[in-house]
Structure 1
């Protein structure tokens, strides 16, 4: 019989992992560090304070990892003022997401080494810089070098350690306490690298801020001046609606594939899962794009989340009803939980992508007014 206190601890941890990432868009650095630490210690908490079997938690753990990683990426749309840094972070995020999706489909652990989670530490670096400096001062060369060093020096050893060697750091230190000195030395090297990267930045500004502000993107002047045909506002908006549609399809597809593969107690073949995921992708994408093309804007994140949740939960109930007729089944409660995570990510994407678009649009308008360049009319 499961002890009530064990379940209280279990759900307290799950809810903490669910709600703490909400702080990342507004308080990026403490939010991501809190999410990272909780991800690192959650199973230790269960082992020490409960007698729960942890096999059933693995699916939740993976899904919650991807969930907070997606919120972290979406917060860069809302906050980051260095456009080149944003482009690097977007590549790193989707590169990792592709790797996780391939791993879930094939179970080849080496894929997690080939597609390391460099994005998370790059995000931490940028936000740590923002606390005391203007991140717009980070040059392209410095940003590329930072991403490369994190990839090679930090993440490759880390991914090898946990996914290939399958070593647990806590057990490794308990077995031989002097091993902790290796971690201290590695941390010292990391601090030295960060100091070297920041050595030529101007003096730190007084005070610090952990709260993020909505960003106005920093472009190279040449990029702003040489944008093809100097978009009109309508062309600019239409072009980004097109790119937004493509990215949204990619994002929903990858999240849906990952969540579908790690759902516990699913008896459905690949074709059944593919059909269900495809329907979810098409309806979610078309709904938001249909509203966007008609100039309909969500007046609040909560309203969009409620509407999208109703749509997605209805789709899941329908899928559950139909799949039984084809000798398949899903765990409805678990599926609804995973769908809730997906819907939250979709909702934040819709909101913060708009911030991203209009930040760039206002920058182009500002550039034109300063340089006297007129936009061509069709």
Structure 2
């Protein structure tokens, strides 16, 4: 088995596995987390040390966390948890961009990846209990506990001390037994002290995402909602600009064929976001909608391919100047995120409006 084949299999897995997060949130993100933890070991086993692995790893992390954030817009019923999720996600995104631009590793400690474990905590609760039972302060405490007691030590271990778990287990004889004892002690605390004090579960185990609200579970309903509440230039478009723009800057630092500087890349992506928002709103107002995510993605992807070709011609860059591989990758990345955002953001807005009406009626 060739080294190149193994490398591309792992990269493909890291790119496709996150697409399961919207439907199977907890199992899929744990699978992404595990793959993230072992991919370098897999490479080393086959005698391959990818250049710029740190940047590649951060880019793939940001991609699956972006899908997880979009999944929270689709699935989460607790508006307070969605607000915390949004803050934690974009806070980390800013930190990763600053790290890519400066190379200063301490920034990853200052901007820890709290969002990932907060997502896991929320979905862990949802598997057995209704997240609406818990208020905003509860979820703030969960986020703060993860930030202080889990992510800060972990980010220090990985990015400041630059220690690797498998290497430490191999080089320090007492580390693995200590780790096993600590995990068993934590499980014992959860089983004997935390579990008996928990309130009764609301339902049996749920690993698949819950059904969408009846009022917006159909493509026509989502299109009607967008037509009634969206504008080309609004907060949703601004959020989408930063969501896709920041991840594009991160991937731009990894891909060798990208000639644009970071500001040019970000502004170019922002322009495409606005054009896509205008086209999407035009389609929604005319009732064009597709329940199939594959069909929606195909239409968005084809539209953006045409836009990229037109932009290349209008800018008179000349034949052969467009790096086809990088251009197609960015169109693919952009189209995936745009398709999912435009499908899922109306669901989050619908739930938020419903919660506000319920609160007003009390």
Q: What TM-score do the two structures reach when normalised by structure 2? A: 0.82
Whole-angstrom distance in 2 between the partners of 1:165 and 1:287: 48
Q: Secondary structure at the match of 2:51?
A: coil
Q: Secondary structure at the match of 2:50?
A: coil
The verdict on how the C-alpha distance between 1:45 and 1:343 changes in structure 2, with shifts beyond 3 A counting, is same
The C-alpha deviation readout for 1:35-70, integer Å capped at 9, x for no partner, is: 11011111211211x244411665543332111101
- Aligned counterpart, 1:168: 164
> Do the aligned partners of 2:226 and 2:281 also contact (CA within 8 Å) in 1?
no
- Aligned counterpart, 2:351: 359
Match of 2:125 among 113, 129, 134: 129
Match of 1:157 among 153, 156, 163: 153
Whole-angstrom distance in 2 between the partners of 1:56 and 1:110: 18
The alignment covers a number of residue pairs equal to: 350
The verdict on how the C-alpha distance between 1:323 and 1:52 changes in structure 2, with shifts beyond 3 A counting, is farther
- Aligned counterpart, 1:283: 275
Q: What TM-score do the two structures reach when normalised by structure 1? A: 0.79
Whole-angstrom distance in 1 between the partners of 2:49 and 2:207: 38
| Pairwise CA RMSD | 3.5
**Corresponding position: 1:111 with 2:107:** yes
Deviation at 1:364, TM superposition (A): 5.4
The C-alpha deviation readout for 1:9-58, integer Å capped at 9, x for no partner, is: 2222222222211221111111110011011111211211x244411665
The verdict on how the C-alpha distance between 1:258 and 1:270 changes in structure 2, with shifts beyond 3 A counting, is closer
Match of 1:214 among 200, 206, 211: 211
Deviation at 1:332, TM superposition (A): 3.4
The verdict on how the C-alpha distance between 1:344 and 1:186 changes in structure 2, with shifts beyond 3 A counting, is farther
Alignment gaps of 5+ in structure 1: 218-232, 372-378
> Do the aligned partners of 1:46 and 1:52 also contact (CA within 8 Å) in 2?
yes
Which of 333-342 and 66-75 deviates more? 333-342
**Corresponding position: 1:9 with 2:6:** yes
The verdict on how the C-alpha distance between 1:47 and 1:57 changes in structure 2, with shifts beyond 3 A counting, is same
Whole-angstrom distance in 2 between the partners of 1:334 and 1:238: 31
> Do the aligned partners of 1:323 and 1:329 also contact (CA within 8 Å) in 2?
no
**Corresponding position: 1:273 with 2:269:** no
Q: Secondary structure at the match of 1:132?
A: coil
- Aligned counterpart, 1:246: 238
The verdict on how the C-alpha distance between 1:78 and 1:64 changes in structure 2, with shifts beyond 3 A counting, is same
Deviation at 1:192, TM superposition (A): 7.7
Q: Secondary structure at the match of 1:146?
A: helix
Whole-angstrom distance in 2 between the partners of 1:12 and 1:110: 31
Whole-angstrom distance in 1 between the partners of 2:154 and 2:303: 40
- Aligned counterpart, 1:66: 62
The verdict on how the C-alpha distance between 1:312 and 1:202 changes in structure 2, with shifts beyond 3 A counting, is same
Deviation at 1:203, TM superposition (A): 1.6
> Do the aligned partners of 1:121 and 1:150 also contact (CA within 8 Å) in 2?
yes
- Aligned counterpart, 1:301: 293
Deviation at 1:257, TM superposition (A): 2.0
Deviation at 1:329, TM superposition (A): 6.5
The C-alpha deviation readout for 1:188-242, integer Å capped at 9, x for no partner, is: 676588777777541234631211113559xxxxxxxxxxxxxxx9998358983
- Aligned counterpart, 1:224: none
Deviation at 1:84, TM superposition (A): 1.0
